[in-house]
């Protein structure tokens, strides 16, 4: 649905040239939700604006829905752009228009009946049927973003670009907006590109993720794959930002709480890698290999139903049994690391 080939964008800022996007190639399939994550200044917004050609790339080719946008005239482009909706962090609603007026805006020129039917159905979709006559100033942040989503959908877009659309919202409202986007994706088949600096957003609804740094895509792939075994340093920073797993070493080094190991005890770190089975691994190894397993610390979350993260445990039962248990776990995509033993 969206194909970027060697897209670069440079800005001339005074005497300086800023390379906001550098040689980005990506392919986002129809009907999927793709995430673009990066810290501030990474080039995400510029890249998003290159997708609908609000920014014309300095180099490269942009194709959306089979049409090569970079080859179109301004007039042809205006037509094509209707197929690409966009929502933003600050909603960008018309303050002087009602909710109804905002959603109806992209429909001007159509018959009154047609507009009314479309606006009503969009307001129902976003759960704001009772707010049609309200003004943006009378709405919460989450409600404003719902209006913006309804407005973006008014021209039946094939693609919806979301640039930090949940960044000004509290976590609860963020989740409700993400659920709405997922529903839009599922029921209308709209391909969605989510731009964010929050890994939680990506984990919540994206199928694919692209990690940006310094204008480049430094890592990409299936969300679970990328976050389970991050290769780029910046990806690791995002993973650590939502996990307390990085605190393990601190805890282990804390002289106030030494971890005492009896002879035959092993201090192990279990990392859930790849897609692990959902079987009860800890109770399994404990029963099968007659181990005592004591969980000291855990950080596990589910992405796509797969556990991601890990545990630090003390396992007692002696060298042989533990070696067998480690082999068993390795076969089930759990990487086991011996931190120390008694």
Ligand X SMILES: Nc1ncnc2c1ncn2[C@@H]1O[C@H](COP(=O)(O)OP(=O)(O)O)[C@@H](O)[C@H]1O
Confirm if 161 and 85 have CB atoms less than 8 A apart: yes
CB-side exposure of 49: number of CA atoms within 13 Å?
Answer: 15
- What's the min distance (Å) between Cβ of 2 and Mg ion? 18
- What's the min distance (Å) between Cβ of 48 and ligand X? 8
DSSP assignment string, 282-301: HHHHHHHTT-EEEEEEEEEE
- φ/ψ of 154, rounded to 5, equals -60, -35
Binding test (CB under 6 A) with ligand X, winner from 2, 20, 51, 334: 20
Both structure tokens of 62: 């942009």
Residue 252 CB partners (closer than 8 Å, separation 6+): 259, 267, 312, 339
For ligand X, give the closer residue by CB, 13 or 256: 13
Nearest residue to 195 (alpha-carbon basis) of 160, 228, 223, 233: 160
Residue 318 interface partner, choices Mg ion, ligand X, none, CB cut-off 5-8 Å depending on type: none
In the range 33-72, which residues lie near ligand X by CB under 6 A?
38, 40-46
For ligand X, give the closer residue by CB, 136 or 215: 215
Both structure tokens of 64: 């959306």
- What's the min distance (Å) between Cβ of 9 and ligand X? 8
Residue 31 CB partners (closer than 8 Å, separation 6+): 1, 185, 189, 191
For ligand X, give the closer residue by CB, 88 or 289: 88
Confirm if 6 and 22 have CB atoms less than 8 A apart: no
Closest residue to Mg ion, judged by C-beta, is: 45
Residue 13 CB partners (closer than 8 Å, separation 6+): none
- CA–CA distance from 62 to each of 1, 11, 29, 33, 213 (Å)? 11, 18, 14, 18, 20
- What's the min distance (Å) between Cβ of 304 and ligand X? 26
Residue 11 interface partner, choices Mg ion, ligand X, none, CB cut-off 5-8 Å depending on type: ligand X
Q: Which stretch binds ligand X (CB under 6 A): 12-20, 181-189, 241-249, 280-288?
A: 12-20
Binding test (CB under 5 A) with Mg ion, winner from 3, 28, 34, 45: 45
> Looking at the chain, which runs of residues are DSSP E strands?
2-13, 16-28, 33-37, 59-64, 67-68, 84-88, 159-163, 191-196, 208-213, 216-222, 265-272, 292-303, 306-316, 334-341
Residue 157 interface partner, choices Mg ion, ligand X, none, CB cut-off 5-8 Å depending on type: none
Both structure tokens of 295: 């969980």
132 binds ligand X (CB under 6 A): no
For ligand X, give the closer residue by CB, 235 or 276: 235
Q: What stretch of H or E contains 56?
A: none
Residue 339 interface partner, choices ligand X, Mg ion, none, CB cut-off 5-8 Å depending on type: none
- CA–CA distance from 342 to each of 268, 271, 337, 339 (Å)? 12, 21, 15, 11
Size of the site for ligand X (CB under 6 A): 12
Q: Which stretch binds ligand X (CB under 6 A): 11-19, 94-102, 110-118, 276-284?
A: 11-19
For ligand X, give the closer residue by CB, 45 or 286: 45
For ligand X, give the closer residue by CB, 166 or 286: 166
Q: Which stretch binds Mg ion (CB under 5 A): 43-51, 73-81, 105-113, 124-132?
A: 43-51
For ligand X, give the closer residue by CB, 55 or 207: 55
Q: Which stretch binds Mg ion (CB under 5 A): 24-32, 37-45, 54-62, 329-337?
A: 37-45
Query: Which residues would be at the binding site for Mg ion (CB under 5 A)?
Result: 45
Query: Which residues would be at the binding site for ligand X (CB under 6 A)?
Result: 11, 13, 18, 20, 38, 40-46
């Amino acid at each position: 649905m969206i194909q970027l080939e060697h897209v670069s964008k440079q800005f001339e800022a005074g005497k300086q040239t800023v390379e906001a996007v550098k040689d980005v190639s990506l392919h986002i399939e129809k009907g999927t939700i793709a995430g673009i994550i990066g810290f501030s200044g990474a080039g995400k917004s510029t890249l998003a604006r290159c997708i609908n050609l609000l920014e014309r790339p300095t180099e490269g080719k942009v194709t959306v829905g089979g049409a090569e946008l970079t080859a179109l005239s301004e007039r042809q482009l205006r037509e094509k752009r209707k197929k690409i909706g966009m929502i933003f962090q600050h909603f960008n609603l018309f303050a002087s228009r009602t909710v109804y007026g905002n959603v109806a805006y992209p429909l001007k020129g159509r018959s009154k009946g047609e507009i009314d039917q479309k606006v009503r159905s969009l307001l129902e979709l976003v759960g704001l049927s009772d707010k049609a006559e309200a003004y943006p100033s009378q709405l919460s942040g989450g409600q404003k973003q719902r209006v913006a989503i309804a407005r973006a959908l008014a021209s039946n877009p094939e693609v919806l670009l979301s640039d930090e659309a949940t960044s000004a919202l509290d976590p609860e409202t963020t989740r409700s907006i993400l659920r709405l986007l997922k529903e839009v994706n599922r029921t209308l088949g709209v391909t969605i590109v989510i731009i964010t600096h929050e890994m939680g957003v990506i984990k919540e609804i994206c199928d694919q993720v692209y990690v940006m740094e310094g204008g480049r895509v430094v890592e990409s792939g299936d969300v679970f794959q990328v976050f389970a075994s991050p290769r780029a340093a910046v990806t690791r920073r995002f993973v650590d930002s939502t996990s307390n797993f990085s605190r393990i070493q601190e805890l282990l080094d804390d002289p106030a709480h030494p971890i005492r190991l009896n002879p035959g005890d092993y201090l192990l770190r279990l990392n859930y890698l790849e897609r692990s089975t959902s079987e009860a691994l800890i109770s399994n190894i404990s029963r099968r290999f007659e181990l005592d397993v004591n969980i000291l610390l855990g950080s596990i979350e589910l992405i796509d139903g797969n556990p991601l993260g890990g545990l630090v445990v003390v396992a007692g039962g002696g060298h042989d049994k533990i070696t067998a248990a480690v082999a068993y776990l390795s076969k089930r995509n759990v990487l086991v690391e011996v931190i120390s033993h008694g």
